[in-house]
Amino acid sequence: MNTVKIITIIVIMAAVVNSSFSQKKGIVLEEFVFEKAPFKQCHASTIAETPEGLVAAWFGGTREKNIDVEIWLSRKINGKWSAPVSVANGVQNKNLRYPCWNPVLFQVPDGPLQLYYKVGPNPREWWGMMITSDDKGKTWSKPVKLPVGVLGPIKNKPVLLSNGVLISPTSTEHNGWQIHFEYSNDLGKTWRLGEPINDGIKYNAIQPSILTYGGGKLQLLARSKENCVLSAWSEDYGKTWTALKCSDLPNPNSGTDAVTLKDGRQLIVYNHVGKKPNKWGGKRSPLNVAVSDDGKHWQAALVLEDQEGEYSYPSVIQASNGNVHIVYTWKRQRVKHVVVDPSKLVTKPIRNGKWPRF
């Protein structure tokens, strides 16, 4: 092998190593919430920070939609996740049982830890449930069914706005896919139901996240069947919204989640891949992290997963120490937890929906 070929190989290998390093820069920790579990499959994880540490939940059972699917939970104690425990199921009586779906954790400031979830035969007929914990997730109250029409946060966390209103991002699937919001003035004790913001015809949109910009300005980012992450804006604390529009980010008809960082940037976790028009959905790999100063122009930050398999349905929060915590489905077999220091992220612009080379 001549000198030119050797140098060329070295340059290529250095570029690959540098690209891999850049795409992982900012990651503090990667781990599984559990290695073994008493269920075959799991999905739709959620995470919250309590005064005593992190709590994660998800649904697990034989497979999604099976009647044995329950809500499972783990607490991170002294740096280690506790063994999964079941905290809710869909048993109605000795002869009737339904699957559980999409848990969402929310820590009420100076109050209980709330766990919202759904019960029912499918997403078109399910209903909202809630349990609460006064001891940071150790023990839980009896399940309470939410008022008729109120589903609770459908996948992503509610947000406590600066005007004191708790806004819950939710959606329905029985009349096309439609987004609406639910509002509480007493931190989830009572709720007011908002009207759908889309007709479910032009855009099929579900599972929104809420981002905040101050002064009552909000943005939603949502899953869609239209090959893109959808976006809409509000200037009045979420009372009214602009029409949904496609963002520059692709979507394979899979869940996303987003959070407003303390430094004012917006961060989204999503699958940066689209789908074919005649298909229900696309691949759920890779799983990516992007950031933005304005919610319109996005910068590529991290590739969390890029191998074959399903890596999906992320949940993301920023903890009190500034670190970002992400949990997501790992091949429907485990829940993966990734900790990111957002100040250490290396970013490049996403142009025309294409993930840049690092």
Confidence of residue 276 (pLDDT cuts 50, 70, 90): confident
pLDDT at 219 over 60: yes
CATH number of the 30-349 domain: 2.120.10.10
pLDDT at 77 over 70: yes
pLDDT at 72 over 90: yes
Query: Cβ(119)–Cβ(90) under 8 Å?
Result: yes
Query: Cβ(183)–Cβ(164) under 8 Å?
Result: no
Q: Copy the structure tokens of residue 241.
A: 């919204």
pLDDT at 20 over 60: no
pLDDT above 90 coverage of the chain, percent: 91
pLDDT at 230 over 70: yes
Confidence of residue 317 (pLDDT cuts 50, 70, 90): very high
Which of these ranges, 15-29, 204-218, 230-244, has the smallest mean pLDDT?
A: 15-29
> For the chain, how big is the Rg over CA atoms in Å?
20
- Segment 233-243, tens digit of pLDDT: 999 999 999 99
Buried b (16+ CB within 10 A) or exposed e, 293-316: eebeebbbbbbbbeeeebbbbbbb
Alpha-carbon gap, residue 291 to 349, rounded angstroms: 9
| Mean pLDDT of the 82-110 span | 98
pTM (2 d.p.): 0.94
286 preceded by cis ω (within 30°)? yes
Query: Cβ(223)–Cβ(231) under 8 Å?
Result: no
| Mean pLDDT of the 60-68 span | 98
Confidence of residue 332 (pLDDT cuts 50, 70, 90): very high
Q: What is the DSSP string of 6-53?
A: HHHHHHHHHHHHHHHHHTTTTEEEEEES-S--SSSEEEEEEEEEETTE
Q: Copy the structure tokens of residue 181.
A: 């919001």
Query: Cβ(146)–Cβ(130) under 8 Å?
Result: yes
Q: Copy the structure tokens of residue 351.
A: 């142009």
Going by C-alpha positions, the residue among 198, 281, 291 that lies closest to residue 245 is: 198
Confidence of residue 24 (pLDDT cuts 50, 70, 90): confident
Burial class (CB in 10 A: 0-12, 13-18, 19+), 77: exposed
Domain borders along the chain are 30-349
- Segment 151-169, tens digit of pLDDT: 999 999 999 999 999 999 9
Alpha-carbon gap, residue 49 to 52, rounded angstroms: 8
